[in-house]
């Protein structure tokens, strides 16, 4: 079986295959309407979701399959204290494929160590969100015609924004792409992402760079990732896209957003033809249909999920890592140049 935890679990050629298949499904939905007949998808949503959850459900139903699971952990045995390990082991026995969203970084990789069926990461805390990235890539392919040679501005919460972490990692694999990160000092892109990039810069405001961009990817400031409410209030209104700012942009610019939106895009922008975020959400269903089909039909052995070394006495310093709560997990790190990288959340610490 094949899991999707990080988009890098697949090759760029496989990403292109998923995007191509999604386009085929869009054009010929009747061909695929019974492709998953007799299959069951388990959905474990420990965190609220609208688009990701419903697009996965719609995807499986349109493929002819069935759905079990929960969208509220308080309606499951989790409220009684059941561990992630036990929940995943149980539900994977009922399912042919599982989709999981969880507020803790590394949780889906931990789940994959236990699962008896393939599992798809629908967002693990502020870490990664690979199926949103595939949605974004399909949007770019359909709307810009390619995934190369783009200048991409990413604005808002870049520290906790799992969607932009996955997107930047993926698009850095395509030739000629460059990135401008628009955020406050407190919400900058993590170093484990920027370390992968060849061409990137920072900006303090949307106005100073919007005229150069081919793509502007807006994100909300995520209240649920902040421990300090006062700090959240300081950040939430710093970057707002409105029509006066958009007047400085190229006619060919496209505006994307993973949604939900708070106040970071003025509602007047919705009527501009460059605003593609609702169309982007629709693309997500087709990408997830393609992904379900490919994973269910993947002909290979289960990949090695932990490739590093166990350091039993070493703790991950990320307080939002799954290692903090699931005590049975191997403390697995990859060591390079005296730096240990946690295999669950990618947090770094000195050896």
Instruction: Evaluate whether 253 touches 272 at the Cβ level (below 8 Å).
Output: no
Which residue in 2, 43, 52, 169 is the catalytic one?
52
Q: Is 101 a catalytic residue?
A: yes
Looking at 2, 3, 101, 169, which residue is catalytic?
A: 101
Round the CA-based radius of gyration of the chain to a whole number and report it: 20
Contacts of 182 (CB under 8 A, 6+ apart): 153, 154, 155, 156, 202, 203, 204, 205, 206, 209, 239
Q: Are 200 and 275 found together in one domain? A: yes
Query: What pLDDT is attached to residue 8?
Result: 84
| 127 catalytic per annotation | no
The single residue of 39, 51, 245, 250 carrying the catalytic annotation is 51
Catalytic residue from among 80, 227, 251, 327: 80
Q: Model confidence over 1-43: pLDDT tens digits?
A: 789 998 888 889 999 999 999 999 999 999 999 999 999 999 9
Write out the residue range of the structural domain in which residue 325 sits.
309-350
Same domain, 30 and 123: yes
176 plus 313 within the same structural domain: no
- Has residue 99 been placed in a domain? yes
Instruction: Report the alpha-carbon distance of residue 322 to residue 335 in Å, rounded.
Output: 19
Q: Domain check: are 156 and 230 in the same one?
A: yes
Whether 34 and 153 map to the same domain: the answer is no
Task: Report yes or no on 304 lying in a domain.
Answer: no
80 among known catalytic residues: yes
Q: Indicate which residue of 129, 169, 220, 348 is catalytic.
A: 129
Residues 187 and 90 in one domain: no
CA atoms within 13 A on the CB side of 132: 30
Per residue in 224-248, pLDDT tens?
555 666 666 666 667 889 999 999 9
pLDDT at 47: 87
Give the C-alpha separation, 261 to 284, whole Å. Answer: 17
64 domain-assigned: yes
Please state the domain count of the chain: 3
| CATH number of the domain encompassing residue 204 | 3.40.50.1370
Antiparallel, parallel or unpaired: β 339-342 and 332-336: antiparallel
Let me know whether 17 and 99 are in one domain. Answer: yes
Does residue 80 share a domain with residue 123? Answer: yes
Whether residue 160 sits in one domain with residue 243: yes
Query: Which residue, 123, 124, 142, is CA-closest to 132?
Result: 123
State whether 35 and 151 are in the same domain: no
Task: Report whether pLDDT(164) > 70.
Answer: yes
How do residues 276-322 score in pLDDT, each as one tens digit? 999 999 999 999 999 999 999 876 666 789 999 999 999 999 999 99
pLDDT on residue 160: 78
Q: In the predicted model, what is the mean pLDDT of the chain?
A: 90
Residue 1 forms part of a structural domain: no
Q: Over 90: is that where the pLDDT of 127 sits?
A: no
Q: Are residues 179 and 276 in the same domain?
A: yes
pLDDT of the residue at 137 = 96
**Would you list the DSSP string of 251-302?**
TT-EEE--S--SSSB-GGGGGSTTB-HHHHHHHHHHHHHHHHHHHHT--SPP
Q: By three-state DSSP, how is residue 199 classified? A: coil
- pLDDT of 154 above 90: yes
Tell me, yes or no, whether 345 and 219 share the same domain.
no
pLDDT at 82: 86
């Amino acid at each position: 079986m094949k899991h999707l935890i990080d988009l890098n679990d697949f090759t760029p050629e496989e990403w292109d295959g998923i995007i191509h298949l999604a386009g085929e499904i869009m054009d010929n939905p009747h061909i695929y309407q019974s492709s998953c007949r007799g299959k069951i998808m388990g959905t474990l949503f420990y965190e609220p979701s609208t688009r990701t959850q419903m697009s996965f459900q719609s995807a499986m139903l349109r493929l002819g399959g069935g759905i079990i699971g929960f969208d509220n952990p308080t309606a499951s045995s989790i409220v009684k204290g059941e561990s992630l390990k036990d929940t995943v082991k149980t539900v994977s026995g009922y399912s042919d494929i599982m989709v999981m969203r969880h507020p803790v970084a590394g949780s889906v990789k931990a789940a994959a160590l236990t699962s008896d069926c393939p599992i798809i990461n629908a967002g693990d805390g502020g870490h990664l969100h690979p199926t949103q990235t595939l949605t974004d890539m399909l949007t770019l392919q359909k709307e810009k015609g390619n995934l190369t040679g783009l200048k991409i501005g990413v604005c808002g919460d870049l520290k906790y924004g799992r969607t932009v972490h996955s997107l930047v990692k993926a698009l850095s694999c395509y030739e000629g792409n460059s990135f401008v990160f628009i955020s406050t000092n407190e919400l900058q892109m993590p170093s484990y992402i920027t370390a992968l990039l060849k061409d990137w810069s920072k900006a303090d405001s949307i106005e100073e760079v919007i005229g150069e961009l081919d793509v502007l990817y807006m994100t909300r400031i995520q209240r649920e990732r902040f421990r300090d409410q006062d700090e959240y209030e300081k950040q939430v209104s710093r970057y707002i896209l409105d029509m006066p700012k958009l007047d400085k942009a190229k006619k060919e610019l496209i505006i994307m957003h993973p949604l939900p939106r708070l106040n970071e895009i003025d509602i007047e922008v919705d009527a501009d033809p460059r605003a593609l975020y609702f169309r982007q959400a629709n693309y997500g269903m087709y990408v997830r249909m393609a992904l379900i089909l490919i994973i269910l039909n993947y002909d290979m052995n289960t990949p090695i999920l932990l490739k590093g070394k166990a350091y039993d006495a070493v703790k991950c310093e990320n307080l939002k890592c799954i290692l903090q709560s699931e005590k049975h997990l191997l403390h697995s790190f990859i060591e390079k140049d005296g730096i240990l990288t946690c295999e669950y959340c990618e947090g770094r610490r000195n050896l």
